[in-house]
């Protein structure tokens, strides 16, 4: 089950009123949306967006008996404006992005997101990727060593990015790198022994970097944030929960820039993080950071 992170804080800071129109840009299992629906009531409308059909099906079940009007759309949040246009909605009172990676996608996708299961090395959010779609397998088998090292460093903040890229290129000369376990073994060979005994698994950062690259997550985030402010009503609020420093830096800078352009106000002067109780109940929440922006 997907547990919503910082639920009370999100509801509190979104400042919801009865009859509001709210966009949950990453609806997942509808953990936040269920509570949002209760706040906006029968006259309110919730538009839930997700790329994953299983998440939408789960959200549909969860929201079946909710008071508010629910509209679910399969899409990338970078197309938020088109989604609203499609359902004939021009403006929203609140928008939520929860950038946490769905536990369903990790555990059940079969597309190689987890380094703890032996699966095809795809890492794409698309359920049925076409031949021309970028995959992690394509990157590790065909990209130049420097390019592989660059993305592992930039999107994984991996200090051994050069060594890992070098080892990938060395091994692929002998055989095609097909599965998650093929890649884990390579990373294991490329990194020093002490690195394998740290709290964070030695493959975490490389896997993160590949997933971000395959799905153009940074480009999608920047686009989604910009489009959100375009469709927000005056005094509407945008809430974003991020889980790693790369995303958080982008959000922080975006909010600062928009404040300087006099487009709105940063509501969260200090980032909001889960308290100890929440972390104990849901360890995956430990790296969550919430930032809120209000449009002028």
Please give the Cα distance from 261 to 253 (Å, whole number): 12
User: Which residues does the annotation place in the binding site?
Assistant: 30-32, 50, 77, 98, 105
CA 212 to chain centroid, in Å, comes to 9
pLDDT at 104: 61
User: Which residues does the annotation place in the binding site for S-adenosyl-L-methionine?
Assistant: 30-32, 50, 77, 98, 105
> Is 44 in contact with 37 (CB distance < 8 Å)?
yes
pLDDT at 106: 65
Q: Which domains does the chain have, with CATH numbers?
A: 7-104+217-295 (3.40.50.150), 126-214 (1.10.150.170)
pLDDT at 100: 86
- Burial (CB < 10 A; 0-12, 13-18, 19+), residue 70, is buried
How many CA atoms does the CB half-sphere of 177 hold within 13 Å? 28
Please give the Cα distance from 204 to 106 (Å, whole number): 13
Q: CA–CA distance from 77 to each of 24, 154, 214 (Å)?
A: 9, 23, 16
pLDDT at 53: 87
pLDDT averaged over 10-residue windows placed end to end, the chain, 296 residues? 88 97 94 96 97 90 94 96 97 96 69 92 87 95 98 97 98 97 98 95 96 96 97 98 95 98 96 96 93 98
pLDDT at 205: 97
């Amino acid at each position: 089950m997907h547990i919503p992170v910082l639920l009370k804080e999100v509801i509190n800071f979104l400042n919801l009123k009865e009859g509001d129109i709210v966009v949950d840009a990453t609806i997942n299992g509808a953990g936040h949306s269920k509570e949002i629906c209760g706040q906006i009531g029968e006259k309110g409308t919730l538009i839930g967006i997700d790329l994953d059909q299983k998440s939408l099906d789960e959200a549909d079940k969860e929201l079946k008996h909710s008071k508010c009007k629910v509209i679910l759309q399969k899409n990338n949040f970078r197309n938020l404006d088109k989604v609203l246009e499609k359902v004939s909605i021009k403006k929203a009172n609140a928008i939520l992005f929860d950038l946490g990676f769905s536990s369903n996608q990790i555990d059940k996708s079969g597309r190689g997101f987890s380094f703890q299961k032996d699966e095809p090395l795809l890492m794409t959010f698309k359920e049925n990727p076409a031949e021309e779609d970028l995959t992690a397998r394509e990157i590790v088998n065909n990209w130049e060593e420097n390019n592989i090292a660059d993305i592992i460093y930039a999107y994984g903040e991996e200090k051994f990015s050069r060594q890992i890229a070098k080892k990938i290129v060395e091994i692929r000369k002998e055989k095609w790198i097909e599965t998650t376990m093929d890649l884990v073994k390579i990373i294991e060979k490329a990194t020093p022994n002490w690195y394998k005994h740290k709290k964070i698994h030695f493959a975490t950062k490389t896997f993160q970097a590949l997933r971000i690259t395959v799905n153009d997550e940074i480009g999608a985030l920047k686009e989604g944030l910009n489009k959100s402010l375009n469709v927000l009503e005056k005094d509407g609020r945008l809430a974003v929960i991020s889980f790693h420093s790369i995303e958080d830096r982008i959000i922080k800078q975006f909010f600062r820039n928009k404040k300087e352009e006099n487009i709105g106000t940063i509501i969260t002067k200090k980032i909001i993080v889960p308290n100890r109780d929440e972390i104990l109940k849901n360890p995956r929440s430990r790296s969550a950071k919430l930032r809120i922006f209000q449009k002028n």
